[in-house]
Amino acid sequence: MDHPGARMLLVAATASGQGKTTVTAALARGLVRQGQRVRVFKCGPDFIDPMLLERACGATVHTLDLWMVGLQECRRRLAAAAREADVVLIEGVMGLYDGNPSAADLSRAFDIPVLAVIDASSMAQTAGAVVQGLRDYGPVQMAGVVANRVASEGHRQMVAASLRGIPLLATLPKQARRLPERHLGLVLPGEVDDIDAILDELADQLHLDTEAWQALTPRLPEHSDPEQAIPPLLAGKTVAIARDAAFCFIYPANLDVLRSLGAQLRFFSPLAGEPVPPGTDAVWLPGGYPELHTEALSRAAPWRDSIRAIHAAGLPILAECGGMMAVAESITDKDGQCWAMPALLPGRVVMQQRLAGLGSQGMPTAAGELRGHTFHYSTMDTDLEPVAYTVKQPSGLRGEAVYRHGSLTASYFHGFFASNPLAAAGLFTQETP
């Protein structure tokens, strides 16, 4: 029997902080508990929200971004998800029209209707004006509304009446327990002991209008372009990847690309006292939260000694953002305490209260531009001259420095390997950016 397709919705809002992630997670968890097959995507560069959404739906959450991921790859992933799921949810980024490209651009590119999340805690009838503005400004298709932080049944009725025919698909009351946050976003799901209980609680609290939900039409997007074959440039090579609470910012698509390039992947945890695995040909140190684990990292002798040995042997090391911080000379935390690091990179990292870098950027390489982004609260003080700079998107201004020190390539830039697999391969085979 042919698959009828999936109900597809882009969950968006007027701004950050309105409850997009909470609503997406609650809806996904609730539908999964009803026996629905749910696939969730995250719009725009992000590592933390996808981890929470993956916990909510039980399936890998991939990134959709018209610039970083690309139109064709976004279309391919959406079409594949609609063929294996009953519901496809895409969580937007910031406000619906924020950014270039924006979540609204993604909605229009693939004809996906918007589910608007409205924080109703300080409004009632004005919700209708806000939703109609979101719909008409682009315009975008408006599938319906989720009113978040609704105080009472009377409050819900006032919001519903204001929408003038736009369905109020669901409501969520003010939450006694919220998803915990920190400076780069939500706290990692693995760090919250009762995260599944919180997700179940949110799913229980979400009141879904079943009739309005059933009225949404399933779709089966067409996709004719085959996935492009990736040459096995890393065949026979073992890439060791640091993965724990200090090194956790990993796009699932990046792992897929490395495997498609032929690499064998081995994971290790510096925080657990694990050294770089023997037999490694290259090392990837992804971003994460080294600033929250400075004491443990500074005392992790197996990690320190093994990464120094890898560097001394001239094996390629890619250190992205938190990975770069963790191999500098030192990290000074927000309390002003300085912690020694392995010193592969001559430089000192200092944490600060305000954001130091944010946005989509492209890194020039011998194989062309590798697209990605940056997001960090620290600064790097080094006398080392950069070998290149990333380019900010869409302004074209100079972005993050890219450093090369021996076999180490380091930058605050997070690369999205699927945007240029050949460039990604070069980072693990000692090709100079």
342-379 confidence digits (pLDDT tens): 999 999 999 998 888 889 999 999 999 999 999 999 99
Measured on CA atoms in the order 268, 272, 275, 279, is the torsion positive or negative?
A: negative
343 conformational bin, left if phi > 0, alpha if psi -120 to 50, beta if neither: left
As a whole number of angstroms, the distance between CA 187 and CA 181 comes to 5
In terms of domains, do 175 and 289 share one? no
C-alpha 130/C-alpha 371 separation (Å) is: 34
247 and 193 co-located in one domain: no
How many domains in the chain?
Answer: 2
182 neighbors 42 (Cβ within 8 angstroms): no
Check residue 356 and give its pLDDT.
Answer: 85
* pLDDT of res. 355: 85
- Domain assignment present for residue 223? The answer is no
Residues 6+ apart with CB under 8 A from 215: 167
Classify residue 349: in a domain, yes or no.
Answer: yes
- The answer to whether residues 205 and 252 belong to one domain is no
Rounded Cα distance between 428 and 433, Å, is 11
Domain that holds residue 249: 238-427
pLDDT value of position 4: 77
What CATH number does residue 24 fall under? Answer: 3.40.50.300
- Asked whether the bond before 226 is cis by omega within 30 degrees of 0, the reply is no
243 and 116 assigned to the same domain: no
Do 125 and 268 belong to one domain?
no
The pLDDT of residue 384 is 97
Residue 138 within a domain: yes
pLDDT of residue 304: 97
**Alpha-carbon span 188 to 181, nearest angstrom:** 9
Q: Are residues 60 and 96 in the same domain?
A: yes
> Active-site residue among 57, 74, 248, 321?
321
Q: Which residues of the chain have pLDDT under 70?
A: 1-3, 177-193, 224-225, 430-433
Q: Domain check: are 250 and 187 in the same one?
A: no
Q: Domain ends where: 214, 229, 246? A: 214
2 domain-assigned: no
Closest by Cα among 277, 288, 227, 242 to 421 = 227
Pair (19, 116) in one structural domain: yes
Has 321 been annotated as catalytic? yes
* Short-list 286, 344, 339, 341, CA closest to 310: 344
Contact predicate 431/388, CB 8 Å: no
Q: Are 130 and 118 in contact (CB under 8 A)?
A: yes
Residue 394: asked if its preceding bond is cis (omega within 30°), the reply is yes
174 is written with which tokens?
A: 């003010």
Q: What is the pLDDT of residues 151-192, one digit of tens each?
A: 999 999 999 999 999 999 999 998 876 666 544 454 555 565
Is residue 313 within 8 Å of 408, Cβ to Cβ?
no
Question: Does residue 222 fall inside a structural domain?
Answer: no
Element (H, E) at 181: strand 181-182
**Domain annotation covers residue 350:** yes
**According to DSSP H, which parts of 99-239 are helical?**
103-109, 126-137, 153-162, 195-205, 210-214
How far is the C-alpha of 222 from the C-alpha of 79, rounded, in Å?
Answer: 6
Q: What is the CATH number of the domain that holds 350?
A: 3.40.50.880
Residues 402 and 256 in one domain: yes
Same domain as 370, residue 270: yes
pLDDT, residue 390, reads 98
Q: What is the spatial distance between Cα 295 and Cα 388, in angstroms, rounded to a whole number?
A: 32
Q: What tokens were used for 352?
A: 């600060």
pLDDT at 1: 47
From residue 305, give the alpha-carbon distance in Å to each of 129, 277, 342. 61, 12, 8
| Claim: this prediction has a pTM higher than 0.95 | no
Residue 415 lies in a domain: yes
Residues 163 and 19 in one domain: yes
Domain membership flag for residue 139: yes
Looking at the fold, whether 122 and 247 belong to one and the same domain comes out as: no
Last residue of a domain, one of 214, 247, 273: 214
Among the candidates 153, 179, 214, a domain finishes at 214
